[in-house]
Amino acid sequence: MSLSVQNISCHRAGRAIFENLSFDLNKGDCLVLRGPNGSGKTTLLKTLAGILPSATGEIHCDPAQISYAGHLDAIKAQLSVRENLAFWAGVYNARDLDRVMSKFDLATLADRYGQTLSAGQRRRLGLARMILTDCQIWLLDEPTNSLDAEHAAVFAKSITKHCADGGIAVLSSHIDLHIPNTQTLDMADFAPSGTIETDPFLQGSFS
Ligand SMILES: Nc1ncnc2c1ncn2[C@@H]1O[C@H](COP(=O)(O)OP(=O)(O)OP(=O)(O)O)[C@@H](O)[C@H]1O
């Protein structure tokens, strides 16, 4: 199991977002993407997941082993928590639904409809869905957004165990998730022409 990225460049709406980005990950590796808003972390994760195309370069991995958890948690509003997970368990032929529910404290919410969950509860359900898939390569976009400290720690433990068991994780985060033995990739190193678009308001260039 490996994930190899060779010289990929990505564009959005015709504008270059990053260029010549490469890395190699093997069993047990966890890569954290860093960089300011708009530097391309989501774009890179979506490209690895096959949702967006790269303009150049190559990505080598087994696509069937990829599980992606983006900003939207892929939750069906009119299904209950259990029904949401059962749906994905069916898609991925997974059986461990109760274990995954208890890991993210979802048992007491089992009969609640997706549309009634808080942001943090939705995120917990989204992460539970990803774990349920049993895929070896986890791609996570700001996974601890909305999570309280207790559940952020549960998530960090899940990632640590996933990698200790030989899985691979790539995640973006603006905070330190306290996951041991991570590698870091700074998107600023791959900005086109060495620059990153920053908010002109923050640069004080409004007049
Ligand atoms: N649907 C889209 N169409 C065109 N441009 C987009 C689209 N989505 C994002 N972009 C642009 O692509 C660039 C990279 O965005 P991206 O979401 O990958 O950054 P990010 O590093 O994940 O940001 P954040 O930290 O805010 O989540 C930004 O300049 C953004 O405005």
Q: Tell me the three-class secondary structure of 54-99, residue by residue.
A: CCEEEEECCHHHEEEECCCCCCCCCCEHHHHHHHHHHHHCCCCHHH
Question: What pLDDT does 66 receive?
Answer: 94
Closest alpha carbon to 96 in 67, 132, 130: 132
What is the C-alpha to C-alpha distance for residues 126 and 42, in angstroms, rounded to an integer?
A: 17
Ligand 1 centroid–CA 105 distance in Å is 32
Q: Across residues 109-128, what is the average pLDDT?
A: 93
pLDDT in tens, 70-113: 888 788 999 999 999 999 999 888 878 888 899 889 999 999 99
For the chain, which residues make up each domain, given as ranges? 27-47+63-184
CB of 173 closer than 6 angstroms to any ligand 1 atom: no
The residue whose CA is least distant from atom 25 of ligand 1 is 37
Atom of ligand 1 nearest to the CA of 13: 4
CB of 47 closer than 6 angstroms to any ligand 1 atom: no
What is the C-alpha to C-alpha distance for residues 61 and 43, in angstroms, rounded to an integer?
A: 18
- The ipTM (two decimal places) reads 0.97
Question: What pLDDT does 16 receive?
Answer: 95
CB of 143 closer than 6 angstroms to any ligand 1 atom: no
pLDDT in tens, 8-52: 999 999 999 999 999 999 999 999 999 999 999 999 999 999 999
**Confidence at 206, pLDDT banded by 50, 70, 90:** very low
pTM summary value: 0.88
Mean predicted lDDT score pLDDT of the chain: 89
Question: What pLDDT does 180 receive?
Answer: 87
Atom of ligand 1 nearest to the CA of 35: 21
- Beta-bridge partner residues of 58: 6
* Topology of the domain comprising 27-47+63-184: Rossmann fold (3.40.50)
Question: What pLDDT does 71 receive?
Answer: 81
Q: Across residues 110-137, what is the average pLDDT?
A: 91
Question: What pLDDT does 108 receive?
Answer: 95
